[in-house]
Amino acid sequence: MHSAANAQGDLPAADAPTADAATADAAPTAAEDFDEQLDALSAETLRGRGGLKWAITQPGELAAWIAEMDVPMAPPISAALHRSIDDGAVGYLPPAAAEAFAGAVARFEAEKFGWNVDPDAVVPQADVLAALELAVRRLLPPGGKLILPTPAYMPFLSLPPLWGIEVLTVGLLPDPEASGGYRLDLDGIDAAFAAGGALLVLCNPYNPVGKVFGRGELAALTEVVDRHGGQVFADEIWAPLVYPGNSHVPYASTSAAAAEHTITAVSASKAWNLPGLKTAAAIVTGTAGRAAVGELGDFAAHGAALPGLVANTAAFNQGGPWLRHTLRYLDGNRNLLAQRLAGLAGVGFRRPDATYLAWLDLRAFSAPDGTVRGTPIGAYLRERAGIVAVDGTDCGAPGFLRLNFAMPRPLLAELADRLATALDDLPRTA
């Protein structure tokens, strides 16, 4: 198989792609076409498209909240889905599709991050949160608590209590080696394990702060976890979206000890924008995880959708060229935002090393509880400027704002203008 994707150093497909997929892959959308298509999308067009991010907005508002992108679908994914729907492949999950998916995940991890994953360790899931539920329900001993570094992806804070699980939050600390960056509070995590914590959620790369963890920090974490016989849920859904100059290191790849106490979750849903297709993989590398999956039998993969597996397999096998276009475009947006925010006195911001989320420290404009004139700053910016973003309080950090910049660049420029005007109107509180 000699597709253009391979010629560009892309991943070889284990299951030989059909002629359609090879054709789609051989003609990736040219960079200019990709940019032009995306730049040309108006808010009205996006509102009419049906994705959740824009669907809840009113005319005049700009959607920068939930983690969806406005990019067009990758041609190899679209081709694979069309082919599979035309074949009527919408039944329960057949073993061949699960095997192709596991092979694609294993190959992607090996080629991209140097992590050799046994395809037998790859368990299809309905989504990453289903994998979290698997880890919580099966790895936590009775009464065991979840340890969660904060700020955090919002459902990590809100879902476990609904399952009857107590969450011990441990705030990130400023990183002395990266201005405006963060590091794990290892002493705080140690104390949380001592206080009954049994399963740590590690988001790597980190939503919302955009951090990519280095080997040293991960090794130090492994020591803490092992000291307490703890377990880790490593959420690596953002791993393909790392900007040049940074590298993702899968946590479970760092040592035998880390692999032994970890369930890793991966998916194509963020990087190729497929969250509605309900598919992720739990990579189960430890004894406890393997036993849990063994006990569950077929139910371990319950909820994973065949079309989602087809799309994820195409993404991991053939989505390289499209991912490069996306990352390049996002990098341009990241730089535009950094440039514009640098001119706004009082706004704390560090360019994320990964993800398309910007984490803005707006505490200089808000009260200690994160409000402005009695309204949470996120809601204030929506009312005042039509910017629909995530209020930091929902991530456990009042006075911050999580802003999704995966939108057409002209809309992002407009958003930056509106933010500047809205903040300009506010007295500084610090």
Residue 368, SS3? coil
Indicate whether 305 belongs to the interface with ligand PLP (CB under 6 A): no
Please list, in sequence order, all residues whose beta carbon lies within 8 angstroms of the beta carbon of residue 113, skipping any fewer than 6 positions away: 239, 247, 248, 249, 250, 253
235 counts as binding ligand PLP under rule CB under 6 A: yes
**Chain Cα centroid distance, residue 125:** 16
127 lines the binding site for ligand PLP (CB under 6 A): yes
Which of 221, 302, 321, 313 is CA-nearest to residue 262? 221
Binding mask 194-223 for ligand PLP (x = CB under 6 A): ---------x---x----------------
With binding defined as CB under 6 A, does residue 283 bind ligand PLP? no
Angle among Cα 41, 59, 328 to the nearest 5 degrees reads 30
| Interface characters, 44-83, with ligand PLP (x: CB under 6 A) | -----------------------x----------------
* 153 contacts ligand PLP (rule: CB under 6 A): yes
Single out the segment in contact with ligand PLP by CB under 6 A; choices: 14-22, 94-102, 121-129, 216-224: 121-129
Q: Tell me if 280 contacts ligand PLP by CB under 6 A.
A: yes
Pick from 67, 95, 111, 103: nearest CA to 358? 67
Q: Give 153 or 322: the residue with its C-beta nearer to ligand PLP.
A: 153
CA 409 – CA 333 distance, rounded (Å)? 6
By beta-carbon proximity to ligand PLP, the closer residue of 115 and 233 is 233
Contact status, residue 105 vs residue 281, Cβ threshold 8 Å? yes
CA 339: distance to chain centroid?
24
Task: Give the shortest CB-392-to-ligand PLP separation in angstroms.
Answer: 15
Q: Which residue has the tokens 């919408």?
A: 90
3-state secondary structure of 215: helix
**280 neighbors 102 (Cβ within 8 angstroms):** no
Q: Which of residues 93-112 bind ligand PLP (CB under 6 A)?
A: none
Residue 25 or 236 with smaller CB distance to ligand PLP: 236
Q: Using the minimum distance from each CB to ligand PLP, give the nearer residue, 250 or 275.
A: 275
Mark the segment that binds ligand PLP (CB under 6 A) among 254-262, 267-275, 322-330, 402-410.
Answer: 267-275
Q: Say how far apart CA 156 and CA 167 lie, in whole Å.
A: 9
- Binding of ligand PLP by 269 (CB under 6 A): yes
- Return residues touching ligand PLP (CB under 6 A): 67, 127-129, 153, 203, 207, 235, 237, 267, 269, 275, 280
